[in-house]
């Protein structure tokens, strides 16, 4: 199946990591979020429910829980990241069909994640996808400033010499696609939030990455 006309010009494919390169149903992020809540509760002395509410508030206001903890509590990022990413990856299983689809995509392929380098390395190795990508832009590269901050997009584009007008970005978070669209990228929302999404900055939507690639790039 040929590329949709709106993607025919793309020569750089950018992928979020968590819940984009693997299904939301794997629930790896649920494990990480549980560790985040425990960290926030211990750091602030709040109850688990209140810590969860604060965690989500920081996520909404700052882009990540970590950014909020750094801004308001002076948390050292390495301590937080090492703790919350120490979760089982037993639910992640390599998908040879998906990997073959990604490998067949013409042009460069870059991972752009709000996770740190050890987490990205661990996830990609578990999925057997490491060799599929030409580069990874992670949170340390962005000085711990997360998506959707425009500066982080600019740093990623500078580091990997990305022309946004010939790039496409896959994400599971609609808010992270807004700056991508404003910069000129084509945007593809995958995962549960794609169902019913009407954000004008989202160009394509699908239930998961594999479904999109099968339907449009297969």
Residue 203 lies in a domain: yes
| Whether residue 101 sits in one domain with residue 15 | yes
159: CATH: 3.40.50.1000
| Whether residue 196 sits in one domain with residue 140 | yes
Among the candidates 84, 105, 128, a domain finishes at: 84
| Whether residue 77 sits in one domain with residue 183 | no
Question: Structurally, how many domains does the chain consist of?
Answer: 2
| Whether residue 79 sits in one domain with residue 123 | no
Which pLDDT tens digit goes with each residue over 28-38?
999 999 999 99
Residue 45 lies in a domain: yes
Residue 187 lies in a domain: yes
Residue 89 lies in a domain: no
| Whether residue 32 sits in one domain with residue 17 | no
Among the candidates 61, 84, 107, a domain finishes at: 84
46: CATH: 1.10.150.450
Question: Is residue 49 predicted with pLDDT exceeding 70?
Answer: yes
pLDDT of residue 217: 74
| Whether residue 180 sits in one domain with residue 157 | yes
Q: How confident is the model at residue 2 (pLDDT cuts 50, 70, 90)?
A: low
pLDDT of residue 25: 93
Question: Is residue 218 predicted with pLDDT exceeding 70?
Answer: no
| Whether residue 168 sits in one domain with residue 102 | yes
Residue 58 lies in a domain: yes
Full 3-state SS string of the chain: CCCCHHHCCCCEEEECCCCCCCCHHHCHHHHHHHHHHHHHHHHHCCCHHHHHHHHHHHHHHHCCHHHHHHHHHCCCHHHHHHHHCCCCCCCCCCCHHHHHHHHHCCCEEEEECCCCHHHHHHHHHHHCCHHHCCEEECHHHHCCCCCCCHHHHHHHHHHHCCCHHHEEEEECCHHHHHHHHHHCCEEEEECHHHCCCCCCCCCEEECCHHHHHHHHCC
| Whether residue 153 sits in one domain with residue 71 | no
Which pLDDT tens digit goes with each residue over 93-146?
999 999 999 999 999 999 999 999 999 999 999 999 999 999 999 999 999 999
Which pLDDT tens digit goes with each residue over 153-210?
999 999 999 999 999 999 999 999 999 999 999 999 999 999 999 999 999 999 999 9
| Whether residue 33 sits in one domain with residue 18 | no
Which pLDDT tens digit goes with each residue over 59-94?
989 989 999 999 999 999 999 999 999 999 999 999
| Whether residue 132 sits in one domain with residue 104 | yes
Question: Is residue 1 predicted with pLDDT exceeding 80?
Answer: no
Residue 196 lies in a domain: yes
| Whether residue 125 sits in one domain with residue 187 | yes
Q: Which percentage of the chain shows pLDDT scores above 90? A: 94
Q: Residue 131: which domain range? A: 5-23+94-216
| Whether residue 73 sits in one domain with residue 127 | no
Q: How far apart are CA 62 and CA 69, in angstroms?
A: 9
């Amino acid at each position: 199946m040929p590329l949709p006309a709106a993607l025919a010009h793309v020569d750089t494919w950018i992928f979020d990591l968590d819940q984009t390169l693997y299904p939301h149903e794997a629930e790896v992020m649920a494990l990480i979020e549980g560790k985040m809540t425990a960290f926030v509760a211990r750091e602030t002395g709040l109850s688990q429910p209140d810590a969860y509410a604060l965690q989500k508030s920081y996520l909404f206001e700052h882009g990540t829980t970590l950014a909020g903890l750094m801004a308001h509590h002076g948390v050292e990022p390495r301590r937080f990241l090492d703790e919350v990413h120490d979760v089982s990856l037993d639910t992640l299983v390599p998908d040879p069909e998906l990997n073959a689809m990604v490998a067949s995509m013409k042009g460069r392929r870059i991972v752009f994640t709000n996770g740190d380098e050890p987490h990205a390395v661990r996830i990609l190795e578990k999925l057997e996808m490491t060799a599929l990508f030409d580069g990874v832009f992670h949170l340390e590269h962005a000085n711990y400033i997360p998506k959707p901050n425009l500066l982080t997009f600019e740093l990623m584009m500078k580091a990997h010499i990305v022309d946004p007008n010939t790039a496409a970005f896959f994400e599971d978070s609609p808010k992270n696609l807004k700056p991508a669209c404003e910069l000129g990228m084509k945007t593809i929302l995958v995962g549960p939030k794609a169902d019913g999404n009407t954000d004008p900055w989202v160009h394509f939507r699908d239930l998961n990455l594999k479904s999109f690639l099968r339907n449009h790039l297969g």
